[in-house]
Structure 1
Amino acid sequence: MSEKQTSTGPLAGIKVLDLSRVLAGPWTTQILGDLGAEVIKVEQPGQGDDTRRWGPPFLDDGSKDAAYYLCANRNKQSVAINLADPRGAELIRQIALDADIVVENFRVGGLAKYGLDYASLSEINSKLIYCSITGFGQDGPYKDRGGYDFLIQGMSGLMSITGRPDNEEGGGPMKVGIPISDLVTGLYSAISILAALAHRDRTGEGQHIDMALLDTQVALLANQASNYMNGGMIPRRLGNEHPNTVPYQDFSCSDGDILVALGNDRQFRSFCELIGRPDLPDDPRFIDNGHRSPNRKALQDEMRPAIAKWKSDDLIAAMEAAKLPGGRVNEIPDILADEHIAARGVIKDMVRSDGTPVKVLGYPGKFSKTPADYRRAPPRSGEDTRDVLTDVLGLSEGQIAALVEAGVIAEKLH
């Protein structure tokens, strides 16, 4: 049984019914939970969220939950209800009666047969904000396809601009090292839900939000898509180089690589002076960014020998003193141990209901009045079933026991 804690976040008092699994949906609801909403996560008895088994690594405790699951499921209560059983679906409908938000990521139309789609639930709760997350949206020729992050990264064009150029060793399309399409869809979904809450505050109306991974990832093409739509430039893979701003890439020092991110002509001139090549900004090929970009290879040939004479720590320190943006390529353990990350309080220590400690990455926004809070560690599957059915629906011990006996609910997976 989870300890009851009162939220202090800006969404305190908002109730979320989470019918999602894997990442895009759970990422959405975790954001809402971090901001203070009460989130009830519904999982299939005997199975739970798929990501509980996406390991190794796994927690060395009775749950054997994967570390992957822990990244997206804090600040939630877990109930194990079989929604395919009419009695289970009815329990979920009763929870939805008092909910402000529903988030689901079933295939298009997949919840209608259980009476848990937007049309059905909005009839009993007209103020409900219902967010559906799918690979391709609720309409369009691809709507019935299954959508997964890797597939979306490829179809959206993202992989065509990620990785080394084809003519270099290791060249070819490459996915991003995190499930970026899922994560960004979660962010856009949370933003959209907050906008719908603002509309409801003004009008009293709930609404349906249709979120698609492909739509979101295409929207995230940003400057690369604009380069093509408004300039006719077809974006290509450039490795660590920037398509527009030069130089904005990695360079090799005598003892390792560093990152140089120069955003304007003034910074370029200052950096050239720093590395002992003050002549470069006066070269007609490099006089401004408009000339440097088409002549980037020639510029790199001039800069690399000068940069290679430096030790990486020395050049980074010199750039910092000159207020020029630069740094090193950290590995994950490096950045998680960084003193700045510690000072910012990014890593949070939590304890599960059975006493198992877990570490999570906290919500990045810093609120001066209503900060995000961390009330519940990622729950064991179904551990809050009894609490929710008692506190939210007012079921008796006898009713709960009968539902357990019938296999409609489970109090724990493990």
Structure 2
Amino acid sequence: MGPLAGVRVLDLTRVVSGPFCSMLLGDLGADVIKVEEPERGDDSRAFGPPFIGGESAYFLSVNRNKRSCAVNLRDEEGQRIVQQLAEHCDVLIDNFRPGTMERLGLDHHRLRVRNPRLVSCSITGFGRTGPDAQRPGYDLIIQGESGIMDITGAASGPPTKVGTSIGDLLTGQFAAQGILAALLERTRTGKGRHVDVSMLDSMASLLTFNAGIYFATGRSPTRRGNSHATIAPYETFETSDGWLNIGVANDKFWQLFCGVIARPDLATDPRFAKAADRVTLRDELVPLVADIIKQRTREAWITDLAAAGVPYGDIRSVQEVCEAEQMTSRGMILDMPHPTAGLVKNIASPFRFDDRAGADHVAPPLLGQHTAEVLREFLGLAEAKISDLIDRGVIRCQ
């Protein structure tokens, strides 16, 4: 049983940021009711290929530990059903554009009249206020608008996006964190709170020391490839047969590193004695180190760096990560039986309590798989009423 056992979450989100947020809550033990459009469901059900047993691998990656309840929110009775479901829930999450929940009669002001303990969360692209509030927010767009793309990529190359949907995923994490904080506050006040999280705000918060450099100097940081703005050598180096990350993050590691590369003269060279000096003289130091690293194999350097305790890292493929013993031995690869897709594999959330991974996980649901179950359980609807709602296109049952 997870720490959020007994917490009911009504999830009106789709695609990535919201579903990732609600999946994290589900991984922690919450009962997540995923409300989907009856005809097509969550947009990401159509994202592919690949598809597995008719299910999108994309959808399957961020929707475990949920029950699917397919309700037509364009229908007034469908809206009333969701309003009634919200009365029985602790949390409601949406990622519609600002104003949509108000039009649906599902805004937090209205719902909290009927359920004062409800914690609601709105995830938007640019925020609920400001001149860009109505702009659609997609990960690529937000990566560019937030400044992240401008500092990512080779110095002489174009702006480059991060290789995963980091804007969506980070926003989902912040939303989950805000929801948990509001639930904790509710234990003291007895009242819910509305959490407002935007993708732009979330991504801009990652600028941290890059923004600090601008605030301190008035100069905007530029792309540096894999090097670090304030640490050197701290980047990717080419060996004789591949690539390797080496992070000489302080003066102690510099001394150890000079021993590994058999250059004690560099350890005593006053030009490179201090971390700040190594950054200032990066253009002299890094090419020198690069020439040395290129003379031996990746495995040879890994062996010596590990023995000396110098931070290093292999450059692994997604396949290598998914099959790594470090991941499998810690239960980070989940196997979940699915009605049509067979055995669905996911990477688990990193939560561990008392050094134990979470409980058993349930595969992402089929569209409308739990509609009847949820309406019976929450609203006490009879079978005849459920059949009537199906016939009129208000709900869908699998």
Q: TM-score scaled by structure 2? A: 0.97
CA distance in 1: counterparts of 2:213 and 2:351, whole angstroms = 31
1:224 to 210, 230, 253: 210
Q: CA deviation at 1:354?
A: 4.8
AA aligned to 2:178 is S
Counterpart secondary structure, 2:11: strand
Contact 1:10 1:371 survives alignment (8 Å) = no
Alignment of 1:175-194 (within 5 A): 175-194=161-180
Q: CA deviation at 1:119?
A: 1.5
Once the two structures are superposed, residues 313-366 of structure 1 have per-residue CA deviations (whole angstroms, 9 ceiling, x without a partner) of 011011111111112101111111111111111101001245721001111121
AA aligned to 1:241 is S
Alignment correspondent of 1:104: 94
AA aligned to 1:37 is A
Contact 1:12 1:37 survives alignment (8 Å) = yes
AA aligned to 2:387 is A
Once the two structures are superposed, residues 57-101 of structure 1 have per-residue CA deviations (whole angstroms, 9 ceiling, x without a partner) of 111x2xx12101011100000011001101101111111001000
Contact 1:136 1:215 survives alignment (8 Å) = yes
AA aligned to 2:129 is D
AA aligned to 2:318 is I
Q: Check if 1:58 corresponds to 2:51.
A: yes
When structure 1 is superposed on structure 2, of 273-282 and 370-379 the one drifting more is 370-379
Alignment correspondent of 2:4: 11
Once the two structures are superposed, residues 266-315 of structure 1 have per-residue CA deviations (whole angstroms, 9 ceiling, x without a partner) of 10121112112121233333121111112112102211222122111011
Alignment of 1:133-152 (within 5 A): 133-152=123-142
CA distance in 1: counterparts of 2:177 and 2:22, whole angstroms = 11
Once the two structures are superposed, residues 112-133 of structure 1 have per-residue CA deviations (whole angstroms, 9 ceiling, x without a partner) of 1221111111111111100000
Once the two structures are superposed, residues 19-76 of structure 1 have per-residue CA deviations (whole angstroms, 9 ceiling, x without a partner) of 00001100110000000000000000111111111111111x2xx1210101110000
Alignment correspondent of 1:20: 13
Alignment correspondent of 1:270: 256
Q: Check if 1:31 corresponds to 2:24.
A: yes
Change (3 A) 1:58 1:344: same
Alignment of 1:105-120 (within 5 A): 105-120=95-110
Once the two structures are superposed, residues 156-215 of structure 1 have per-residue CA deviations (whole angstroms, 9 ceiling, x without a partner) of 10001100012xxxx110000001011000001101100000110001011111111001
Q: Check if 1:361 corresponds to 2:327.
A: no
CA distance in 1: counterparts of 2:356 and 2:286, whole angstroms = 48
Q: Check if 1:93 corresponds to 2:92.
A: no
Change (3 A) 1:337 1:355: closer
Counterpart secondary structure, 1:221: helix
CA distance in 2: counterparts of 1:369 and 1:41, whole angstroms = 30
CA distance in 2: counterparts of 1:311 and 1:352, whole angstroms = 44
Q: Check if 1:335 corresponds to 2:321.
A: yes
RMSD: 1.3
Counterpart secondary structure, 1:392: helix
Q: Check if 1:127 corresponds to 2:117.
A: yes
1:350 to 309, 317, 336: 336
Contact 1:320 1:326 survives alignment (8 Å) = yes
1:247 to 233, 251, 267: 233
Alignment correspondent of 1:4: none
Alignment correspondent of 1:69: 59
Deviating above 6 A after TM superposition, structure 1's stretches of 4 or more consecutive aligned residues are none
Alignment correspondent of 1:44: 37
CA distance in 1: counterparts of 2:355 and 2:244, whole angstroms = 38
AA aligned to 1:47 is R
Q: CA deviation at 1:231?
A: 4.1
Alignment correspondent of 1:3: none
AA aligned to 1:301 is P
1:403 to 385, 389, 392: 389
AA aligned to 1:88 is G
CA distance in 2: counterparts of 1:237 and 1:299, whole angstroms = 19
Aligned length: 398
Alignment of 1:170-209 (within 5 A): 171-209=157-195
Q: CA deviation at 1:372?
A: 2.5
Q: CA deviation at 1:404?
A: 0.4
Alignment correspondent of 2:267: 281
Q: Check if 1:299 corresponds to 2:289.
A: no
Q: Check if 1:384 corresponds to 2:374.
A: no
AA aligned to 2:386 is I
Alignment correspondent of 1:161: 151
User: With CA pairs under 8 Å and 6+ residues apart, which has the higher RCO, 1 or 2?
Assistant: 1
Q: CA deviation at 1:375?
A: 3.6
CA distance in 1: counterparts of 2:115 and 2:59, whole angstroms = 31
CA distance in 2: counterparts of 1:312 and 1:128, whole angstroms = 54
Q: Which runs of 5+ in 2 are unaligned?
A: none
AA aligned to 1:331 is S
Counterpart secondary structure, 2:245: strand
Q: Which runs of 5+ in 1 are unaligned?
A: 1-7
CA distance in 1: counterparts of 2:373 and 2:159, whole angstroms = 48
AA aligned to 1:11 is L
CA distance in 2: counterparts of 1:336 and 1:385, whole angstroms = 33
